[in-house]
Structure 1
Amino acid sequence: MQFAIVLYPGFTSLDVLGPYEVLGRLPDAEVVFVADEPGLVRNDLGSLSIDVVATLADVTAPDVVVVGGGPGQLEQMSNTGLHEWLRTVDRNSAWTTSVCTGSLLLAAAGLLDGRRATTHWAGLDQLAGFGVTPSKQRVVIDGHYATAAGVSAGIDMALTLAGLIAGDDVAQAVQLVIEYAPEPPYDAGSVDSAPAAVVESAMSKLSG
């Protein structure tokens, strides 16, 4: 089974590397990073790059598509080549998925019209403008679309997908291999639980 993970300049690394760690451990998995052009693609922090060998044109029939988010997503909203590729491969994909603001790219390509989806909390209101029903759930499954909320939720989405693809036992084994048993030291992982000052600080960082 081929998993195609889309990259573009300014991607958020955990958006794609979280699902990579999970999905790449499934039986007979082939993971390929794809981009407009081959070469190094740098993340949003500027200190990590992934060397992409395959272009979008090289990958024509992936079984699963993963689109991450990040500040670079804004520029990709007008990338008609990427949108056309997403629409084309979506016709035959078993799953088309996103993490964080990657769902806005799926929405811009017209794939989520009339469906439920989630994204990073700061971008949730934008989904409605594309005919999507926004959800605050961490992972949303609607048809063959799986969308995850912000960044770390990509691991949850990938484990959910792993269970649907390979069965619960395999997914749980992968969870154990990566020792995914989060016990965060703070209860500030959502807008609903974070103190108001923390939300304000986070908004400032995102807008900067």
Structure 2
Amino acid sequence: MQEQPVIIIGAGPSGLATAASLNLHSIPYIILEREDCFASLWKKYAYDRLHLHLQKQFCQLPHLPFPHSYPRFISKQQFVSYLDDYVSHFKITPLYCRCVELAVFDEITKEWTVKVRNLGSGEVEEFRGRFLVVASGEATDPYTPEIEGLKSFPGDVLHSTQFKNGKAFRDKNVLVVGSGNSGMEIAMDLANHGAKTSIVVRSPVK
């Protein structure tokens, strides 16, 4: 068992920002990440054309501003580079391939016990701390709804986390389901690459 005052679950931007702030106050912590890298949503599961949807001054992490050379709306590649510098600057060292299976608070000792599965060795590891920060994000597990006929559909079916760009879809008929930020941007990217793109919207577009 390992003990630290603070246990952070997730090494995305929120988890990294928490770790950096703790570092500045010399508060020991441990950061647990299910994937094999930090910011995995940005590094592994985001499409190429993605940009931050807010101006950069609203998106930088605490204690380290974006480079002055960055444009107003930052690209995926620029944000990943910034996060690389952020982790290096604050000497953040997450434990990777750790999948949290249980987190329990003991009312007597006033401590958290967190059990994780080491995805490399398969062993269960245990961590204990006074404070638990859950920074696992809201989009960690892709969801594909049950759609009648989807399993027998002969074409390719991709979740947005699997989409990189529209190069492979030129002259193909593509249906995008959903009109959120990802759906609209992916539809535009497909159209820009010559795909015959349609989009399904649940509610009227206002």
- TM-score tier (shorter): under 0.3
The structure with more helix, counted as a fraction of residues: 1
- Max Rg structure: 2
Q: Which has the higher contact order (CA 8 A, sep 6+)?
A: 2
